[in-house]
Amino acid sequence: RPPEAAETAARGVHSPGRAAIAQRHLRLDRWWLPQVMTAAGLLLFIGYSTWRAFFGLHTSYAAPYVSPFYSPCLAANCPTMKGGADWALFGSWWQLSPALIVLIFPLGFRLTCYYYRKAYYRSFWSSPPACAVAEPHAKYTGETRLPLILQNVHRYFFYFAIPVAGILTWDAILGFRDAQGRWGHMGLGTLVLLVNIVLIWGYTASCHSCRHIVGGRLRHFSKHPVRYRMWTWVSKLNARHMQLAWASLFSVGLTDLYVYLLASGAFSDPRFF
Ligand code: FES
């Protein structure tokens, strides 16, 4: 055996100090099922959101509702949103979909999220495939070098996620107007936008970086009662971070789908008052 092959074989679970177990793992359950479901869910969302981000501009707004993929609108080629977050910072030279400018922030936030990292490392890279299942790779460097060391920018994406969630909150409030801009309307779309923004705030507030920002680096909780109280709230949400990650991912996609169906004339928004 060439020396490099021997060296490779002696790494990881095959390194000299480890028990010599012939089987790849000893799990008897269907450990691969969550990984398959995770990959399917993520691919579904990636496929749908890519299609909408590139080709959804003209069905991104159905007064008074705007798709979360297209808000805030930072280019000049957006449909008119009276009172909405419509700032043509990029001017008319931007001819591509305006969603591409905005989606960088929520995409970066989710891509570097601690939960999604676990999810896609397992389901796409098998690194590791599951608990107590040895990974097939000979080498493991974790997130200690490029490009994965860049995952550390997550906390900065968290800072961007706050204004984005604030803007989507404003969009949900604007859902209480009718198509002419008069207040006092509520339709099914208003409810859809409200549920979506509650889930987005739940996901954002349950972020591990948020928990650290709120309650980290303190020597004595007793000297910081307000931060301690906030930390206990964030910690409770943090325990549900995975569920909130999935719920908010699907709610963003379904909210966009709802606006798309309204804008393309598939049906009219049922009105409560
Ligand atoms: Fe998931 Fe921050 S850890 S959003």
For the record, the structure tokens of 155 come out as 């906390």
* Beta carbons within 8 Å of 18's beta carbon, 6+ residues apart: none
Pocket lining: 114 vs ligand 1, CB cutoff 6 Å: yes
ipTM for the assembly: 0.99
Q: What is the pTM of this model?
A: 0.91
Angle CA(24)–CA(27)–CA(29) in degrees, nearest 5?
A: 135
Q: Which residues pair with 66 in a beta bridge?
A: 61
Pocket lining: 207 vs ligand 1, CB cutoff 6 Å: yes
Q: What is the pLDDT along the chain (273 residues), one digit of tens a residue?
A: 454 555 555 667 777 788 888 888 899 999 999 999 999 999 999 999 999 999 999 999 999 999 999 999 888 888 766 566 677 778 788 888 999 999 999 999 999 999 999 999 999 999 889 999 888 887 788 899 999 999 999 999 999 999 999 999 999 999 999 988 899 999 999 999 999 999 999 999 999 999 999 999 999 999 999 999 999 999 999 999 999 999 999 999 999 999 999 999 999 999 998
Pocket lining: 208 vs ligand 1, CB cutoff 6 Å: yes
Given a contact cutoff of 8 angstroms between Cβ atoms, the answer to whether 43 and 51 are in contact is no
